[in-house]
Amino acid sequence: MSVALDEINHEAEHTHMKPQPYWNPYLSGIGLGMVLLLSYVIMGRGLGASGAMTTTAAVAVNAVAPAYAQSNEFYSEYLGDGTKSPFKDWLVFEVIGVIVGGFLSGALAGRIKMSVEKGPRVSVKYRLIFAFAGGMLMGIGAKLARGCTSGQALTGGAVLNVGSWVFMIMVFAGAYALAYFLRRQWT
């Protein structure tokens, strides 16, 4: 009986899907460029994500305090004229599609697992704190810059917007400048 169980366990180990190799980054870049081109052709505008978050926040505020949301200049801009649902904003569905597509891609490649990517010199707790703090800073920066990095880099860069190119150069310069000080967290 134990021999049969060992055979079943051995067979189960071999039927487990091995992670697929990562996609070629050049082909992925071409694919992303085609998606950007299609967004211009179909929707008349480029890609971005922060607009979806702002629309969601406006809808949430409107659900709790409709009078305030509709009288507030910032929120009312995202609520429309009241005759249509704010969730008809295509960026909301773009972000949902990114989440679903990422999950589906990871599942098909056999790369879905619960883990925290971190270096050996930092704990999981501090890695999550740093990730949350970085995300908050990116969100604040996106509102101050009136757009997110995907909108700046992809959409602005594609239309040769000088401000977008300067922004991305500064993002890389800042990353390289901080890499020296943060390298010990990852090595």
pLDDT of residue 81: 64
Residues 69 and 10 occupy one common structural domain: yes
Q: HSE on the CB side for 144, CA within 13 Å?
A: 7
pLDDT band at 128 (very low <50, low <70, confident <90, very high): very high
Q: How far apart are CA 157 and CA 71, in angstroms?
A: 35
pTM above 0.75, yes or no: no
Tell me the Cα Rg of the chain. Answer: 22
- What average pLDDT does the chain have? 83
Tell which phi-psi region holds residue 161, choosing left (phi > 0), alpha (psi between -120 and 50) or beta.
beta
- Break the chain down into helix, strand, coil percent, rounded to 5: 75, 0, 25
Residue 124's pLDDT is 92
Residue reference for tokens 């599609």 = 97
Same domain, 99 and 9: yes
Whether residues 3 and 34 fall in one domain: yes
Same domain? For 91 and 28 the reply is: yes
Q: Among residues 70, 89, 113, which one ends one of the domains?
A: 113
Q: Which of 23, 12, 5, 181 is nearest to 106 (CA)?
A: 23
**Which residue, of 96, 113, 130, is where some domain finishes?**
113
Distance between CA atoms of residues 137 and 185, nearest Å:
19
Count of domains for the chain: 2
Which of 150, 53, 58 lies closest to 92 in space, CA to CA?
A: 53
Domain that holds residue 165: 116-187
pLDDT tens-digit readout, 68-100:
988 888 888 888 765 456 667 788 888 899 999
Please indicate, yes or no, whether residues 75 and 155 belong to a single structural domain of this protein.
no
Q: Are residues 103 and 127 in the same domain?
A: no
Query: What is the band of 12 on the pLDDT scale with cuts at 50, 70, 90?
Result: very low
Among residues 90, 113, 136, the one where a domain terminates is 113
